[in-house]
Amino acid sequence: MSSERISRRTALKAGVAAAALAPLKDALHAQETGGATKKRIRQSVCRWCYPQIPLDQLCAAGAQMGLFGVDLLDPDEYETPRRYGLICTMGYAGGGTIAEGLNRLENHAAIEAGFRTNIPLAAKAGVPNVITFSGTRRGMSDEEGARNSVIGLNRVKKIAEDHGVTICMELLNSKVNHPDYMADHTAWGVRVMEEVNSPHVKLLYDIYHMQIMEGDLIDTITKNIAWMGHFHTGGVPGRHELDDTQEVQWDGVMRAIAGTDFKDYVAHEFLPTGDPLTSLRQAVVRCDV
């Protein structure tokens, strides 16, 4: 196809049927507004990747791009996106840290206390998901860590169920960014989810991290989608833009997600190397399949 821009008037003159104009209209709208139009993928953005942009400004820009929300906000920020027609799509709620998580029994009381305080606040603000972590191994076997994580999640799952909020345990890579992190493979996370067996306890499948650890993204996602409550993005290698310099075919992965019954959110979690909002717009359009 010629790279010359095709207008709706040109298409009509060419006798294109009205039904065929919808994709063209969407494409033109995306060019004009720099955002999503199809919205089969409910996109969000992670706050921490944009430290120089005030949260209100990020929310306003995200709304213009067709985002649904902003990820990884603290409880005192939960309400801010609502001023712009968005939500906090995933919140921090006292679910431990990357190093100190559910795989150690001594962390469970503090995690429970955090969730008892903050999950009701999340529910009140319309926050659908809160984040938690497995913790690092530090010599612990994966078997023991899985047992302990199941115990911990069983201890807090009723809090989530009673308030209609989903607790998501994040899968992270232990090869590049988070050495010794326990939940570093999908199979380990799915095993924990199966044993907890709650519609309000799921995995945060970080596509960047899992590409580094195991690849095979589309097959893994489609086979295990029932246990996935949220997604994060990031270019591999480097965790930068979702562009042609990295190895994940993002439109294919997004089509695979859109082809399932997944109705939750995909949040962009990459570190922009150029103008941050321009990079975010480009990612939004790329993933709007």
Segment 191-215, tens digit of pLDDT: 999 999 999 999 999 999 999 999 9
The DSSP line for 6-36 is --HHHHHHTT--GGGHHHHHHHHHHHHHSS-
Beta pairing, strands 87-91 & 42-46: unpaired
Q: 235-253 burial, b for 16+ CB within 10 Å, e for fewer?
A: bbeebbbbeeebebebeeb
Query: SS3 of 246, please?
Result: coil
Given 3-state DSSP classes, what are the helix, strand and coil percentages for the chain, each rounded to the nearest 5?
A: 45, 15, 40
Higher-confidence residue of 177 and 3: namely 177
Is the pLDDT at 12 greater than 80, yes or no?
no
The reported pLDDT for the residue numbered 33 is: 53
For residue 245, give both structure tokens: 């310099």
Tell me the pLDDT tens digit for each residue of 103-161: 999 999 999 999 999 999 999 999 999 999 999 999 999 999 999 999 999 999 999 99
Q: Are 66 and 39 in contact (CB under 8 A)?
A: yes
Q: How far is CA 80 from the centre of its chain?
A: 19
How many angstroms separate the CA atoms of 268 and 283, rounded? 8
Count of Cβ atoms closer than 10 Å to residue 279 Cβ: 22
Fold of 35-287: TIM Barrel (3.20.20)
**Contact, 193 vs 202, CB < 8 A?**
yes
- Which amino acid is located at 207 in the chain? I
CA gap 97, 152 in Å, rounded: 14
Token digits of residue 284:
């939004």
Per-residue pLDDT tens digits for 28-37: 344 445 798 9
The residue with greater pLDDT, 13 or 73, is 73
pTM: 0.88
The ranges assigned to domains in the chain are: 1-33, 35-287
User: What is the predicted pLDDT for the residue at 9?
Assistant: 33
Quote the mean pLDDT of the chain. Answer: 91
Rounded CA gap, 105 and 119, in Å? 21
Confidence bin at 97 (pLDDT 50/70/90): very high
Q: Compute the distance between CA of residue 246 and CA of residue 44 in angstroms, rounded to an integer.
A: 21
